[in-house]
Amino acid sequence: MEHVDLRIAELASSAFAASGSETGSLPAGATELAVTADRQERHAAIVEAVLAGNAIAIPFAKFNDGRGFSLARLLRSEHGFRGEIRATGHVIPDQALHLLRSGFDTAEISDADKLPHWQQALSSYSGNYQMAARNPLALRRQAALKQSAESRAADLGKQLAATGDLAERIHIIAKAVPGRLSFSTSLGKEDQAILHAIHEAGVEADIFTLDTHKHFKETLATLKRSEEHYGLKIRVITPNEDDLRELMARDGEDGFRTSVAGRKACCMIRKVLPLNRTLRGSAGWITGLRREQSAERAAVEFASWDASLGLFKVNPLSDWTEEQLEAYVSDNNVPVNPLHAEGYVSIGCEPCTRAIAPGEDPRAGRWWWENMDGKECGLHIGGERQLDKVA
């Protein structure tokens, strides 16, 4: 069995490749997602497959059965799945571009003699074809981003490093990022500083927050207060109700407490998938990550290209110290969550956040019943690794 890497066709019209898989089997640990007509059954299977955190294989029983394409589209657009999707079974070279546009990354083919036909089909990829379900950016913008996204991110990083003024950094980002600029706020101190700077800079951004239905009342009050203070709207993004129902049926209300896998599943449904859906179509994503926050964040760059989301991820506070942040917030009368004054440094969902003692690791107040390694909820983990390390 051979497999064709459809993703290569994303990179350049003339560059494509086909490579043999050693075993002909699914990618290691892949979950097979069968096509089913029953909507509820299908939804349950999708959620199960997404939560398994592996690559997903969709089998085609017949080459003219279009349901596999719809399933891949659903995974990308409705569920925000960013891992590998592989087509298996009866797929033919004529379907190569359709597979690509539907969100498939790879296709497994039984007849190695057909490899040249797949290559030929993919070679006609000219940039006029889009990964429609995966990356609905406008053609012109997508082509421009493809040209030199990484070097542009590096340039942007240099520009940001050249000034310490936060509002100026926001200006620089808005100028450098060609299209919708998204800012996801947790309403924590870092994000409140960025909100202030966005307001001061007069930059237009899609400002949103992920409401997990588990927030502290103080966090929700901070949201309202910030909207009033700055006279702007913060979009509130909630989890997909069907996904949530499936999670509750599977793990119960407190499943996040009983195992790391249960906690990852909860973060996946309540945070990661809604974030992925919301960022779709954005050209840039501003976050409040700082290098000082944890060992995991020590290498956070000012700007990078996130290939799986197809956008620039920008961290204008990456070099700021806690003292700089405190001074900025206080000098500018920035509204902050009152829980910070009670020892809550990193504030997430109420059942998963506690205050920390002076000198404790800033991330020690999150999921404290787990060990200290990799305390991330998955929001800031790259697409390739996202599903196997939502920690």
CA distances (Å), origin 94, targets 8, 73, 100, 217: 17, 18, 11, 54
- Choose the stretch contacting ligand SF4; rule: CB under 6 A; options: 61-69, 193-201, 327-335, 346-354: 346-354
Residue 93 touches ligand SF4, criterion: CB under 6 A: no
Does position 349 bind ligand SF4 by CB under 6 A? yes
Judged by CB under 6 A, does residue 351 bind ligand SF4? yes
Please name the residues in contact with 228: beta carbons below 8 A apart, sequence gap of 6 or more.
none
The residues, any chain, with a CB within 8 Å of residue 336's CB and separated by 6 or more, are 189, 192, 222, 329
Which strand ranges, in their side-by-side order, compose the sheet holding 17-20? 17-20, 2-5, 106-109, 85-89, 56-60, 31-32
- Position of tokens 């086909």? 18
Which helix (H) or strand (E) segment is 319 a member of? none
Site for ligand SF4 in 185-204 (CB under 6 A): none
Q: Which residues contact 40 (CB under 8 A, 6 or more apart)?
A: none
* 270 binds ligand SF4, rule: CB under 6 A: yes
Using the rule CB under 6 A, is 79 a contact of ligand SF4?
Answer: no
Q: Which is nearer to ligand SF4, 133 or 266 (CB)?
A: 266
- Shorter beta-carbon distance to ligand SF4: residue 76 or 263: 263
- Among residues 106, 142, 212, 346, which is the contact residue for ligand SF4, using CB under 6 A? 212
DSSP 20-85: E-SSSSPSTT-EE----S-HHHHHHHHHHHHHHTS-EEEEESSTT-THHHHHHHHHHHTT---S-E
Pick from 183, 208, 256, 312 the residue near ligand SF4 by CB under 6 A.
256
CB closer to ligand SF4 out of 57 and 266: 266
266 binds ligand SF4 (CB under 6 A): yes
**Closest to 1 (Cα-Cα) out of 120, 107, 142:** 107
47 scored as a contact of ligand SF4 (CB under 6 A): no
Would you count residue 375 as binding ligand SF4 (CB under 6 A)?
no
Residue 152's nearest CA partner among 12, 314, 280 is 314
Q: Using CB under 6 A, which of the segments 100-108, 223-231, 305-313, 345-353 binds ligand SF4?
A: 345-353
User: In terms of CB distance, is 247 or 314 closer to ligand SF4?
Assistant: 247
210 makes contact with ligand SF4 (CB under 6 A): no
- Nearest distance from C-beta of residue 268 to ligand SF4, angstroms: 8
CB–CB of 121/97 below 8 Å?
yes
Estimate the crossing angle of helix 67-77 against helix 39-52, to 10 degrees: 60
Q: Which is nearer to ligand SF4, 195 or 266 (CB)?
A: 266
> How many Å apart are CA 167 and CA 199, to the nearest integer?
8
CB of 278 to ligand SF4, least distance (A): 15
At residue 95, the 3 state secondary structure works out as helix
- Spatial distance between the Cα atoms of 9 and 6, rounded to a whole number of angstroms: 6
Q: Is 364 in the site for ligand SF4 (CB under 6 A)?
A: no
215 binding ligand SF4? (CB under 6 A): no
Tell me, by CB under 6 A, how many residues bind ligand SF4.
Answer: 13
| Identity of the amino acid at 282 | S
Residue 317 touching ligand SF4 (CB under 6 A): no
Nearest residue (CB) to ligand SF4, 48 versus 168? 48
Question: What three-state secondary structure class fits 284?
Answer: strand
Q: For the CB of residue 50, give the shortest distance to ligand SF4 in the complex, in Å.
A: 15
Which of the ranges 100-108, 131-139, 180-188, 265-273 carries the binding residues for ligand SF4, by CB under 6 A? 265-273
Nearer to ligand SF4, 28 or 369 (CB): 369
Residue corresponding to tokens 């069995």: 1
| Active-site residue identified among 266, 267, 349, 377 | 377
Q: Is 352 a catalytic residue?
A: no
What residue is closest to ligand SF4 based on CB? 349
Binding positions for ligand SF4, rule: CB under 6 A: 212, 214, 256, 263, 266-267, 270-271, 348-349, 351-352, 377
Active site residues: 377
